[in-house]
Structure 1
Amino acid sequence: MKAEQLKEKLIAKAAELGIDKIGFASADPFLELKERLREQQEKGLASGFEESDIELRSHPEKLMPAVKTIIAIAIAYPAKLTDPPKSEPGNYRGIFCRASWGTDYHLVLRQKLDDLSTYLHSLVPNATIQSMVDTGALSDRAAAQRAGIGWSGKNTAIITEEFGSWVYLGEMLVDVYLPPDEPVEDGCGDCTLCMTACPTGALVEPGRLDSQSCIAYLTQTKTMIPEKYRDKIGNRLYGCDTCQTVCPKNKKRYFDHQQAFHPDVEKVKPLLKPILKLSNRQFKEQFGEMSGSWRGKNPIQRNAIIALAHFKDKTAVAELTAMLQKDVRPVIRGTIAWALGKIGGEEAKESLQKAIQTETDEMVLTELNVAMNRLKN
Structure 2
Amino acid sequence: MSSFNTLELLSLAENIKAWGKELGFQQVGICDVDLSRHETPLQEWLNKGFSGEMNYMSEHGMKRARPDELLPGTVRVISVRLDYLPPDAEFAKTLKNKNQAYISRYALGRDYHKLLRARLKKLGEKIRSECQHLNFRPFVDSAPVLEHAIAEKAGIGWTGKHSLTINKEAGSWFFLGELFIDLPLPIDQKVEENCGSCQACLTICPTQAIVEPYVVDARRCISYLTIEQKGAIPEEYRKLIGNRIYGCDDCQLICPWNRYASITDEKDFHPRQQLMGKELLALFAWDENTFLKNTEGSAIRRIGHERWQRNIAVGLGNAPYSADIIAALEVALKNASELVAEHIHWAIEQQEDKSLFLEEVTENRLTERLIRSIEKGLPRDA
Bigger shift: residues 182-191 or 94-103: 94-103
Counterpart position of 2:170: 163
Match of 1:13 among 15, 19, 25: 19
Matched, 1:258 2:269: no
Alignment of structure 1 residues 109-188 onto 2, 5 Å: 109-188=116-195
1:39 is matched with 44
Give unpaired runs (5+ residues) of structure 1. 349-377
Displacement of 1:21 after TM fit? 0.7
How many residue pairs match? The answer is: 346
Q: Give the equivalent residue in structure 2 for 1:224.
A: 232
The Cα shift of 1:162 comes to 1.5
Give, in angstroms, the shift of residue 253 of structure 1: 2.0
Q: Which has the larger radius of gyration?
A: 2
Equivalent residue runs for 1:238-277 within 5 Å: 238-277=246-285
Kept in 2, the 8 Å contact 1:222–1:298? The answer is no
Question: Following the alignment from structure 2 to structure 1, what is the Cα–Cα distance between the partners of residues 128 and 173?
Answer: 30
Shift of 1:277: 3.0
CA deviation vs aligned residue, 1:237-263 (integer Å, no higher than 9, x gap): 100001110001112523121222111
Partner of 1:23: 29
Distance 1:287 1:346 in 2: 33
Matched residue of 1:295: which SS?
helix
Q: Which moved more, 1:116-125 or 1:188-197?
A: 116-125
**Counterparts of 2:264 and 2:317 in 1: how far apart (Å)?**
33
Aligned twin of 1:76: 83
Which of 177, 185, 196 pairs up with 1:189?
196
User: Residues of 2 paired with 1:26 and 1:87: CA distance?
Assistant: 42
**Which whole-Å CA distance do the structure 2 matches of 1:195 and 1:347 have between them?**
34
1:82-93 counterparts in 2 under 5 A? 92-93=99-100
Structure 1 residue ranges (4+ consecutive) displaced by more than 6 angstroms after TM superposition: 83-88, 345-348
- Equivalent residue in structure 2 for 1:3, among 9, 29, 36: 9
Matched, 1:317 2:326: yes
Q: Which moved more, 1:74-83 or 1:226-235?
A: 74-83
* TM-score normalised by L of structure 1: 0.86
Q: Which SS does the other structure have where 2:57 is aligned? A: coil
Task: Report the 3-state secondary structure (helix = DSSP H, G, I; strand = E; otherwise coil) of the residue aligned with 1:257.
Answer: coil
- Cα distance, 1:34 vs structure 2: 1.2
Secondary structure in 1 matching 2:202 = helix
Q: Which amino acid aligns with 1:36?
A: P
Q: Secondary structure at the match of 1:260?
A: helix
Q: What displacement does 1:331 show?
A: 1.5
Q: TM-score w.r.t. structure 2 length?
A: 0.85
Summarize deviations over 1:10-59 as a string: whole Å, max 9, x none.
1111111111110000022x122111111011111114434322321011
SS at match of 1:46: coil
The answer on whether the counterparts of 1:74 and 1:149 sit within 8 Å (CA) in structure 2 is yes
Contact 2:50 2:219 in 1 (8 A): yes
Percentage of matched positions with identical amino acids = 32
Q: Does 1:58 align with 2:65?
A: yes
**CA distance in structure 2 between the aligned counterparts of 1:125 and 1:237, rounded to whole angstroms:** 47
On the 8 A contact 1:204/1:210 being kept in 2, the answer is yes
Shift of 1:91: 9.8
CA deviations 1:288-333 (Å, max 9, x no partner) are: 2221221112222111111112113421111211222x22411111
The Cα of 1:284 is off from its aligned counterpart by: 1.3
Conserved 8 A contact 2:98-2:318:
no
Are residue 301 (structure 1) and residue 306 (structure 2) matched? no
Aligned-residue Cα RMSD (Å) equals 2.3
Paired with 1:162 and 1:226, the residues of 2 have a C-alpha distance of: 38
Q: Which runs of 5+ in 2 are unaligned?
A: 357-382
